[in-house]
Amino acid sequence: MRWITAALIGGSLLLPPFFAGDFYINLASQILIAAIFALSLNLLVGFGGMTSLGHASYLGVAAYISALLTNRYGFGHGAAAIISISGTVAMAGFFGVIALRATGLGFLMITLALSQVLWGLAYRMSNVTNGDNGITGLTRPAPFGISLENPVSFYWFALIVATMAFVMMTIFVTSAFGSSLMGVRDQARRMAALGFNPWLIRWITFVYAGFWGGISGLLYVYYHKYIHPTSLSITSSAEALLGVIAGGSGTLGGPAVGAALVLLLKNYASAYIERWNMLLGLVFLFIVLVMPTGIAPGFSRLVARMRGERIDDRSRA
Amino acid sequence: MTDPALEVINLKKAFGGLAVTQDVSLVVRPGERRLIIGPNGAGKTTLFNQISGDLRPNSGQIRLFGADITGLPPYRRAHCGLSRTYQIITLFAGDTIQHNVSLALLGLRPSRWQIWLPMSHYRDIAVEARQALDAVGLLHLADRSISDIAYGERRRVELAIALAQRPRVLLLDEPLAGLSNAERTTVKSLIASIPRETTLVMIEHDMDTALDLAETVTLLNYGRVIVDGKRDAVIADERTREVYLGT
């Protein structure tokens, strides 16, 4: 059953370039970017039990570094990408040391504070970041000489990166290390008594999540060819968190579904309803009431019930 | 003479003005079976938490086979051969029993850092985990989830987790608490069958049940060692009667 679902989803991701118009292909590309971002946040929230409200830092900083290097300092896209990801990972390492002094609510507040500092810098340090005007006139890279300027080629590029991200993060959480991570999430004290170092396990996960957050940031800036401080804002972090929780935190694919939902409401429904935020709130309320563990676990339970199977509350999609 | 398996020297711990461990010293020889008794609030579990590293003492020293472990974090102590069980059961409720024991085995191996292959890749972990479950008579439940099994069985899983690590020193915090008479007998014989390579230090609130497992007994009260010595001598001691038996 799970394989059929996976094959269906995988297959449908191959379809847009053949059927859809440019508008929808671009929407699909954005969904893929948001999905990578949400999946990386899910490593912290779902698998590590570390609820972060500052994950936009990694998306935003990677995007800003790449934008500045290519636009202002004349770097090529390859070098800019490497420096931007290394810089983001280093920052995640440093932020991790600060934020992981606490767990739970304290951790959340520290991640929020750190990301607010960056957001403030992006706004106020306008001689570097161009402040509220953002950085415009960016270009997309051309890997192996293939231009990504048209929507279809960019979609394929985003799909390849998203697939790699999904596979790599899935391997991460299903590995022996992933088992340790979930153990630390559930019983940190017991895990320490068994010989695991909870702090280091959390920190490594924090950095890994920062890495994939940075990757999504690169795609983000390539796609929009523009970067503005709002991408570092608490709204940006909160939307991703909303996607993770709505889709099903701690599930492998759920956050991608949740991210797609948030993005569709934001970019598509907002064309018809001015108060799309209200709609987002109502949809979220509906999910919390009807499928408290998220869309993905909710649907797999629904399917199981229709097939007359025993319902296992702990089943994870 | 060999180093003691566990040595506690002048240990002191206070929470604010409340002194919970006052100048406690203990020497446990390798292979010994030590029972720590004392009324509620005597500081037994606090002493354990300091030995396992969950709590830092204010002063004093803890030595494991001669090595000073006072400043080590809990996970380093586990690698030194110290293992413990908890009075309040802390298992991974959603996971299978075998997974619970496998985590204990993974904790002492370098492969716990490996982010590429699933734990199921390591056949030896699975084999050893099942052996450990067999030893406590729970092999038939290996694939069940913790939340599906009875309380008494969970106590045995706790024991399997601790024993799977083949510790040199094992701290058992009230291993018989909350068990029925039949389960008590089972768990008691399990503890009695632990090999002599493992030094046992056991807390029990109820003196009668655990007494025949012990060779030596330490009586704590108000965070102090009141009596310490051979089992029969401690039982016969005037002060034991006073503090513990309330006569």
HEC sequence for chain A: CHHHHHHHHHHHHHCHHHHCCHHHHHHHHHHHHHHHHHHHHHHHHHHCCCCCCCCHHHHHHHHHHHHHHHHCCCCCHHHHHHHHHHHHHHHHHHHHHHHCCCCHHHHHHHHHHHHHHHHHHHHHCHHHHCHHHCECCCCCCCHHHCCCCCHHHHHHHHHHHHHHHHHHHHHHHHCHHHHHHHHHHHCHHHHHHCCCCHHHHHHHHHHHHHHHHHHHHHHHHHHHCCECHHHHCHHHHHHHHHHHHHHCCCCCCHHHHHHHHHHHHHHCHHHCCCCHHHHHHHHHHHHHHHCCCCHHHHHHHHHHHHCCCCCCCCCCC
Q: Is A205 on the interface with B (CB under 8 A)?
A: no
pLDDT over 60 (residue A315): no
A186, closest residue in chain B (CA to CA): B92
From chain B, the residues in CB contact with A198 under 8 A are 75
Mean pLDDT of A13-20: 85
Where in the sequence of chain B do the CATH 3.40.50.300 domains occur? 1-81+167-247
Q: Does B78 touch chain A (CB under 8 A)?
A: yes
Distance (Å) of CA A135 to CA A115, A223, B213, B233: 19, 14, 74, 83
Interface test with A, best of B115, B171, B173 (most A CBs within 10 A): B115
Is the model's pLDDT at A313 over the cut of 70?
A: no
| Residue-wise pLDDT tens digits, B68-105 | 999 999 999 999 999 999 888 788 888 899 999 999 99
Check pLDDT > 60 for residue A96: yes
Q: What percent of chain B has pLDDT over 70?
A: 98
B120 inside 8 A of chain A by CB: no
The reported pLDDT for the residue numbered B73 is: 96
A280 pLDDT above the threshold of 70: yes
- Chain A residues close to B115, C-beta within 8 Å: 171-172, 175-178
Residue A176 to residue B111, Cβ atoms within 8 A? yes
Of the pLDDT bands very low, low, confident and very high (cuts 50, 70, 90), residue A314 is very low
- Whether B112 sits inside 8 A of A186 (CB atoms) is no
CATH of B1-81+167-247, one of 3.40.50.300, 3.40.50.720, 3.40.640.10, 3.40.50.1860: 3.40.50.300
The residue in chain B having the minimum alpha-carbon distance to the alpha carbon of residue A205 is B115
Report, as ranges of residue numbers, the positions in chain B whose pLDDT lies below 50. 247
* pLDDT on residue B110: 92
Residue A316, pLDDT score: 44
Q: Which residue has the tokens 């330490």?
A: B218
Residue A6 confidence (pLDDT): 81
ipTM: 0.91
Tell me, yes or no, if A307 comes closer than 8 A to chain B by beta carbon.
no
Q: What is the mean pLDDT of chain A?
A: 92
Q: Which of A175, A180, A193 sits opposite B84 (nearest CB)?
A: A193
Q: Is the Cβ of B52 closer than 8 Å to some Cβ of chain A?
A: yes
- Find the CB nearest A193 among B74, B106, B121: B74
- When the candidates are 1.10.287, 1.10.3470, 2.60.40, 3.80.10, the CATH number that belongs to A2-306 is 1.10.3470
Degrees (nearest 5) of the Cα angle A162, A13, A303?
Answer: 105
Beta-carbon separation of A195 and B78 below 8 A: yes
Q: Among candidates B80, B81, B102, which has minimal Cα distance to B91?
A: B102
Residue-level pLDDT at B178: 86
Q: Is B108 on the interface with A (CB under 8 A)?
A: yes
Is B89 near chain A, with CB under 8 Å? no
Whether A97 shows a pLDDT value over 50: the answer reads yes
pLDDT value of residue A32: 96
pLDDT of A121 higher than 60: yes
Q: Is the pLDDT of residue A310 over 70?
A: no
Of B86, B114, B161, the CB nearest to A177: B114
Residues of chain A with Cβ-Cβ distance to B74 below 8 Å are 189, 192-193
> Are B145 and B95 a contacting pair, CB within 8 Å?
yes
Side by side, the strands of the sheet bearing B6-15 are B18-28, B6-15, B59-64, B67-68
Touching check for B92 and chain A: CB below 8 Å? yes
Note the pLDDT tens digit of each residue in A174-204: 999 999 999 999 999 999 999 999 999 999 9
User: Can you give the residue ranges of every domain in chain A?
Assistant: 2-306
Put simply, the answer to whether B106 touches A180 (Cβ < 8 Å) is: yes
Is A196 in CB contact (< 8 Å) with chain B?
yes
Judged against a pLDDT cut of 50, whether residue A129 lies above it is answered with: yes
Q: Tell whether the model's pLDDT for residue A311 goes beyond 80.
A: no
Partner-chain contact B114 A175, CB within 8 Å: yes
- Are A196 and B92 within 8 A, CB to CB? no
Task: Give pLDDT, residue B74.
Answer: 96
- Residue B119: predicted pLDDT: 87
**Per-residue pLDDT at B163:** 94
Interchain CB contact of B54 with A (< 8 Å): yes
**pLDDT (average), residues A134-160:** 92
Check whether A23 has a pLDDT greater than 70: yes
Contact B165/A179, CB-based, under 8 Å?
Answer: no
Contacting residues of A for B107, CB less than 8 Å apart: 180, 191, 194-196
| Interchain CB distance below 8 Å, A175 and B94 | no
